[in-house]
Chains A and B, each alone.
Chain A
Amino acid sequence: MVLEKEILPFFQWLLRGEGATVAEGEGALVLFAVVLATVFVLSLVGGFLVSLIRHGPIRAGEIAYNTLTVGFSELARTSPRRIGALASVAAKDSVRRRVWVALILFGLILLSAGWFLQANNTQPARLFLSFVLTATSYLILLLSLLLSAFSLPGDFRTKTLYTIVTKPVRAGDIVLGRMLGFTLVGTALLVVMAVASWVFVNGSLSHTHKVDLETLEALRDPDGQSLGQQGLSSYDLFHKHDLTLDPDGGGVVEAAHGHTHPVVKGGDRYVIGPAEGFVRARVPKRGKLRFLDRKGVETARGISVGSEWGYRSYIQGSTQAAAIWTFDGVKASNLVDYEDGGGSYLPVELIVRVYRSYKGEIERGIQGSIQLRNPDTEVKTNLRTFYAKDATIDSFQFANEQTSTDQQPITILNDLISEDGRIEVIVQALDRNQYFGFAQADCYLRLPEGSALWNFVKGYLSIWMQMVIVIAVAVTASTFLKGPIAMLFTVAFLILGLNRDFFVKIATEQSFGGGPIESAVRMRLQMNQMSPFDPSPAVTVMQSLDDLLELMMLGLSYVLPDFSTLLGRVTFVAEGFSIPADALARDFVVCVAYVAGAAIIGYFCLRSREVAK
């Protein structure tokens, strides 16, 4: 699968990020602390200034002091019981507001999905999974937005909040209670949607085939002994399979459209069973990729073949160019036993993207080689050649017993894994002037497969976390804004979060066409993005304003949640890869941070309103 951003190990992400040490300040924790401190100082200064204007310096100091001390002591005394009670009120209120209509809508979406989702695709599971997960995400985000943005303002408007604040509850309880209540309702809906999606995907893809008797041909060995038969299955769900039938009743159905089937002999007939392997959860152990150029000199990237998408870079065939992955922490347990019990092997999976500079032999793939190497001793296995299966996952089983390049018997465990547990995989292209393209995620050691159902649940967990963030933000916004405005605020937050990368690019002047004002001017004047402006005072003013706006955007980007990454987690499920625990843990921490931050801001905002004091 395509992995454009590397997923850092959880603690590295939390503590030091891309930097070498914590002190470099790229760790998530450091950034969170900085953002928190900034927001705290800005709010304090802002609040003080407002009070200063309204009440004079002495009273302002007193108000600021009281807000801080009372606020924090109240926050510390937040009661789970009260929050629970308020949450149940919020949940009941939501049910009264007919949230279950969303389920009907979801049902309608699933029913009409057949209009534009067809299994006439080489990867039907991927399509169906990404459809249900994306549809659920958007629907649940919209629903939680509507629920939470209008709830508090509605209570203000109908004055029902007064009946609550007369009870011994604190503003913090109200904010957290709402968040929790809506989260509970959203979670219940999400669970129903998840079950429906699972049934929908499996139901839509479920099929079986018959053996197409007309295509069967007998297989015989040179002595004329029967080896069984080979032929094709019937054509169902837009595909058919090649199959081989053993004389003893078993058989193999070749994979097609991302799945296979079992074959059993029922009486005197062969029966093809239900589809297997549509929904998977491969667990890869990923390594670090580096390249050698055509002269064998190490480079960070291979060469470009002119593709607009710079994800992969390429190595030239029949030169010293190579792609080398280094895997850390490889242990004996990473080797898998052969099914027939004859020793163990290291499972390596590889995706090769082929680029031909001339057509060559059309019916033959481009040849490549793959080797294992010990990074310390540089002992290498003999060249193992293969024909590249372009853009599909190719599996290699490296038996523990190997022969080195100087024809000595070696084993992976003793000779190829270095003392600190590292091993290298070297891939080269062999055909002259033909190219192989790789990205870091294209080669991995396959670990035992995870549970597809659990992976599906993890996909829904990441949707759940997005929902929680939206609820937190919307509830907080609704403490100081009117319903529709709170909704617009959250929608803006959501849209910016979904396009956070682009937003940051504009803020850091990496995108073409300048900042917001400059872009607007270019659009108005129908100027292209590259041509410079003639210097003039107006242009200087425009650019200075843009600089200011960009600074503000950059500041804002620190509090924007990266929804596109969260939404991207469902790609793992769709592609049949397990969502890494590191990613899930990180998303969870981010979610908790947003809820905590939003709750504190929401508390102070609600507290500052006349009614909740």
Chain B
Amino acid sequence: MNQRGSFYRKVVYGAIIAVLLAPLSLLSAPATLDSEGGALAKLRAEHRLGQADLGEIDPASETIKLATLGLRGLAVQLLWNNANEFKKKEDWTNLTATLEQLAKLQPNFITFWKFQSWNLSYNVSVEFDDFTDRYYWVRRGIEFLQQGARYNRDNPKLLWELGWVLGQKIGRSDEKVQYRRLFKADTEYHPEDRPPVQRDNWLRSKAWYEESVASVEDRGQSLGKKSPIIFYSSPTKSQMNYAEAIGEDGLFDRSVSAWRLSEEEWLDFGARPLEHSTGVVLRYNELMELETRLEEVTETLGSMVSGARDRIVEDARAALTPEQREALDTPPADRTEEQFTLAYEAQNALRVTPQQIAERIAEEAPEKQLEAQRMAAEANALKRKVGFIKAYKDTANYDYWLLRSQFEQSKAAVAARELIFRARQAFDQQANPFDAKRFYEEAFDRWADVLEEFPELKDPDGTTGDDIMYMIYDYNKVLEQLDEEIADDFPLWEIIENFDTERDFAAEVEERRRARGEIDPRAAAPAETAPPDTEPSDAAATETMPDSVDEASEPTGSGGEESASDASELAEGEPASDPAN
């Protein structure tokens, strides 16, 4: 009985196992070429969670993960700790070895790749004194990120990060001249078949940005929390940086065609639909159209019942208090502080919205109410969208960069850049101040032509004025060596007046303003307080000086321009150059 009982029990177990195999197969059969597999396999395919969907499959990585016997979390924790400790103790060899181990243990953890490649390119590289060592570590960071991008195919964040580091770290750091040179000559980084022209960090950066955009556009990856403006404008920004950089290298013809391409791409970017955080979809280059339409709608609405708008204003004016009215009638310069507030309130009260007009129409001509409401709603929507586009345009500094890529193609600008290049060569490399002076003067004549052709460039929000100002500082150094000063008929005094942030020309500028009667001649003229030559280590102190001098010499205050131009630089997301360098 006992033996038979045991036999039956085994049979029952066998039967249960056989029955359970069926749902198990339904649930977890692997996908094959012919079938989609079980439910789990389908879910995996649907959410692209299979290892093959994520990126390259690395048997070593899988083996090591298994070899941790379920203690992967613990191992990762220990290794991260070690990595931090190695970094603290400057043990770079073991740091990179630890990162390799971590890469095998958590190959699909995106933050790991971003964080640690940044660590290598930015934090480890600066620990070295020799710029070739520094470049080595920048490149290691980039290669590490590329390794991550292989494990995580089509990940827009990693691809974008690659574009960023290749562009900004190599092309914008203090060592950019050296880094760009080393990058071009880096046979270990570039594949053999890459043509020398393509071995430019900005072009490589652009290529990765484009990959990143393609992964979102063509392969359906999510942009995540990244701002679409920054994301989609990045490839073209790299193209512009490329154009600028090769211009600085003296390759003017190529630079012009690079700027031409920049302009085309920037216009394409302007035509790209961008989703605002409120869900409104907008395009940069529909701004003008929308503004015209807004004007039309507002006008049509106002003319639906003649004089409706004027009557609203009249009513509003009648409702003003006598003090408000008096404040409004006083010229702005003569208003007291209290009147200033009152006038502001009054102006607000007198502002007529489409909604108010529509309501007035509804009262005065009820048959037009529906039409008026519809138009008011349209006007409001248009106004809102116009506001969004303007804000987004500011974020990308769209208009400036469009203008920049246009004017850089002009003959005058190219000639100006070339002459500046030759002037610098004459002074720095040939120690010939006479030729340098001549080239500079010819160049500034060309710059004057450029500014005449593109007067918007004088806008203090742009960076071109600053660029020209730095050329003028260099020119001034040449003149100092020749014991001369900038002539009164110098064509770019306007630039000096607006962009002389170093205050090297404070006295001259003041003199000119006084001559034009813009400054009260009785006002104090503390020109002597211009900052003396300071040591590099004191650069931080000098930085703050212009503002204080500004306040002292110009109590009426026009110093806002400088900070505005600073702000626009910041908006571009490009770090200011090291003041100490």
Please determine whether chains A and B interact with each other in the same assembly: yes
A residues touching B (Cβ–Cβ < 8 Å)? 2, 112, 115-118, 121-123, 126-127, 130-131, 235, 238, 308-309, 311, 354, 356-360, 362-363, 365-366, 388-391, 432-433
A112, B187: Cβ atoms closer than 8 Å: no
Instruction: Judge whether A123 and B130 touch: CB under 8 Å.
Output: no
Pair A127/B93 contact, Cβ less than 8 Å:
yes
A390 x B130 contact (CB < 8 A): yes
Known contacts A115-B104, A309-B88, A390-B129, A357 near B537 by CB under 8 Å: yes
Contact B129 A116 (CB under 8 A): no
Instruction: Provide the bound-state CA to CA distance between A122 and B96, in Å.
Output: 10
A433 surroundings in chain B (CB, below 8 A): 535-537
Name the residue on B nearest A432 (C-beta).
B535
Lowest 6 A-B CB distances belong to which pairs?
Answer: A390-B129, A115-B60, A358-B580, A354-B129, A358-B536, A116-B100
Q: Are B90 and A123 in contact (CB under 8 A)?
A: no
Q: Known contacts A121-B96, A127-B94, A358-B537: does B129 contact A388 (CB below 8 Å)?
A: yes
- Contact across chains for B88 and A308 when beta carbons are under 8 A apart: yes
The residues of A that contact B63 with a CB separation of less than 8 Å are: 112, 115
Q: A357-B537, A359-B581 are in contact. Are A365 and B129 (CB under 8 A)?
A: yes
Docked complex Cα distance between A363 and B94 (Å): 28
Q: How far is the CB of A123 from chain B (nearest CB, A)?
A: 5
Flag B95-108 by CB within 8 Å of A: 1 or 0 each.
01100110010000
Q: Which of A235, A363, A366 contacts B187 (CB 8 A)?
A: A235
Check if B319 is an interface residue, CB within 8 A of chain A: no
- Residue B257, interface by CB 8 Å: no
Residues from chain B with a CB closer than 8 A to the CB of A112 are: 60, 63-64
Closest to A123 in B: B93
- Cβ of A131: which chain B residues have Cβ within 8 Å of it? 97
- Assuming the contacts A309-B90, A359-B578, asked whether A115 and B64 have C-beta atoms less than 8 A apart, the reply is yes
Min CB gap B116→A, angstroms: 14
Taking CB atoms, residues of chain A closer than 8 Å to B130 are 365, 389-390
Per the 8 Å Cβ criterion, residues 38-93 of B in contact with A are 60, 63-64, 88-93
Interface residue total, chain B, C-beta cutoff 8 A? 33
11 additional A-B pairs beyond A122-B93, A354-B129, beta carbons within 8 Å, are A112-B63, A115-B60, A308-B88, A358-B581, A359-B581, A388-B129, A389-B130, A391-B128, A391-B129, A432-B535, A433-B536
Residues on the A chain within 8 Å of B244, using CB: none
8 contacts between A and B (CB under 8 A): A117-B97, A121-B96, A122-B136, A358-B539, A358-B581, A359-B580, A365-B129, A388-B129
| Chain A residues whose C-beta falls within 8 Å of the C-beta of B580 in the assembled complex | 357-359
Residues of A within 8 A of B100 (CB): 116-118
Q: Is B133 touching A390 in the complex (CB atoms < 8 A)?
A: yes
B89 and A311 contacting across the interface, CB-CB below 8 Å? yes
A358-B580, A390-B128 given as contacts; is B101 within 8 A of A116 (CB)? Answer: yes
The proximity string for B residues 548-581 relative to A, scoring 1 for CB distances below 8 Å and 0 otherwise, is: 0000000000000000000000000000001011
Which residues of the partner chain B approach A360 to less than 8 Å between Cβ atoms? Answer: 536
B124 to chain A, nearest CB (A): 12
Name the residue of chain B whose CB is nearest to the CB of A4: B89
**A-chain residues with CB within 8 Å of residue B174 when the two chains form the complex:** 359, 362
B370 to chain A, nearest CB (A): 61
B321 partner residues in chain A, CB cutoff 8 A: none
What is the bound-complex CA distance between A335 and B433, given in angstroms? Answer: 54
Q: Mark B132-163, 1 if CB is under 8 A from A, else 0.
A: 01001000000000000000000000000000
Cβ of B187: which chain A residues have Cβ within 8 Å of it?
235
| B131 close to chain A: CB less than 8 A | yes
Which residues of chain B are within 8 angstroms of A359 by Cβ–Cβ distance? Answer: 174, 578, 580-581
Q: How far is the CA of A388 from the CA of B129 in the complex (A)?
A: 9
Q: Which residues of A contact B175 (CB under 8 A)?
A: 362
Which residue of B has the minimal Cβ distance to A239?
Answer: B188
Is the Cβ of B97 less than 8 Å from the Cβ of A127?
Answer: yes
CB-CB under 8 A from A309, the residues of chain B are 88-90
Q: Are A126 and B535 in contact (CB under 8 A)?
A: no
CA distance in complex: A432, B534 (Å): 13
> A390 CA to B136 CA in the complex, in Å?
14
Which A residues touch B536, using CB under 8 A?
358, 360, 433
CA distance A131 to B97 in the complex (A): 10
Q: B178 at interface (Cβ–Cβ under 8 A)?
A: yes
Whether the Cβ atoms of B93 and A363 lie closer than 8 Å is: no
Query: In whole angstroms, how far apart are the Cα atoms of A173 and B118 in the complex?
Result: 60
Which residues of A lie under 8 Å from residue B537 when comparing CB positions?
357-358, 433
Cα-based distance from A117 to B96 in the complex (angstroms): 10
In the docked arrangement, what's the CA distance between A504 and B58, Å?
43
- Chain B residue at minimum C-beta to C-beta distance from A232: B187
B175 to chain A: closest CB distance in Å? Answer: 5
Residue in B94, B104, B128 with the greatest tally of chain A CB atoms within 10 Å:
B94
With A and B bound together, what is the CA distance between A432 and B580 in angstroms? 13
* Contact indicator B93/A121 (Cβ below 8 Å): yes
Q: What is the CA–CA distance of A358 and B60 in the complex, to the nearest angstrom?
A: 44
In the bound complex, CA of A362 to CA of B126 (Å):
12
Q: How far is the CA of A603 from the CA of B473 in the complex (A)?
A: 87
In the complex the two chains form, what is the Cα distance from A432 to B60 in whole Å?
51
For A126, list chain B residues within 8 Å (CB): 93
User: Which A residue's beta carbon lies closest to that of B61?
Assistant: A115
Contact flag A2-B578 (CB < 8 Å), given A121-B97, A356-B129, A359-B174: no
